[in-house]
Amino acid sequence: MSDVARHSGLPFMKMHGLGNDFVVIDARVSARAVTPALARAMADRHRGVGFDQLAVIEPDSEADLRLTFYNADGSLSAACGNATRCIARHEMQVRRCSELTIRTDRGMLQARDAGGGLTSVNMGHPMTDWADIPLAEAADTLHLPVPGDPVATSMGNPHCTFFVEDAEAVDLETRGAEIEVHPLFPERTNVQFVSLIAPDHLRMRVWERGTGVTLASGSSSCAVAVAAVRRGLTGRAVRLTLDGGEISVDWRETGVWMTGPTTHVFSGVLTAEFLGGL
């Protein structure tokens, strides 16, 4: 690639956590502003790069860095657990440190090297009051007035969790799309279908708001673990098997800690031709 193309383009990294994939743009070294239109164009898996979420790294006066997240449809998301873990892993390697503080719209998060190639992030305390989810009206978030008796939780973004006998048997594309836009959720919602395997092991499948079916979701994993504890199905430390692999969640007094693997797949540069008109 010529120097002209390199400097007129937009550098990015492609990462994934359990197949939940992300494009990461470091705004600390790029002057180009990310817009919803650019996010949608990059998300196109045929004409762009393809991702479940886009994460933008920015400087922060109090934290080691700040993250802003976009869904594939260009909408903003306050939380994205797997992307946070991926970026934390990369940043800790660059800085040669084992802990970071990360600011998101969810709040200030802590990240740690958990050893063995795993990264842990404290996603903060869950919110379970109906107004914090938010719901359109007052309701019992442990037993929503929705067919299937789901649980509502916020991890900075809304989640609706169904406990079912067999998560594999659910028509995820149909049911997920329906529940995402249920009128009880004015900001739409992420949707999970979960089966209990053991008191410390859950099988879950995910439909993400603004994206669709994904192989994994960090914030969804946290919300599911919280919902399972509230229902009395599991203890506070659980292993979750998703379509893309396994993640561990531990709901502690300090917050909901999520631990799992990450992968930096490649780095690239969006060309001036692609960026033209966006």
> What is the average pLDDT score of the chain?
95
Same fold, 3-122+262-275 and 151-253: yes
Residue-range domain boundaries for the chain? 3-122+262-275, 151-253
Topology classification of domain 3-122+262-275: Diaminopimelate Epimerase; Chain A, domain 1 (3.10.310)
CATH class for the domain made up of 151-253: alpha beta
Q: Is the pTM of this model over 0.85?
A: yes
Tabulate helix, strand, coil % of the chain (nearest 5): 20, 40, 40
Q: What pLDDT score does 1 carry?
A: 38
Q: What is the pLDDT of residues 221-237, one digit of tens each?
A: 999 999 999 999 999 99
* Residue 73 tokens, joined: 């449809």
Nearest-angstrom CA–CA distance, 151 and 160: 6
pLDDT, tens only, 18-30: 999 999 999 999 8
What are the pLDDT digits (tens) for 53-78?
999 999 999 999 999 999 999 999 99
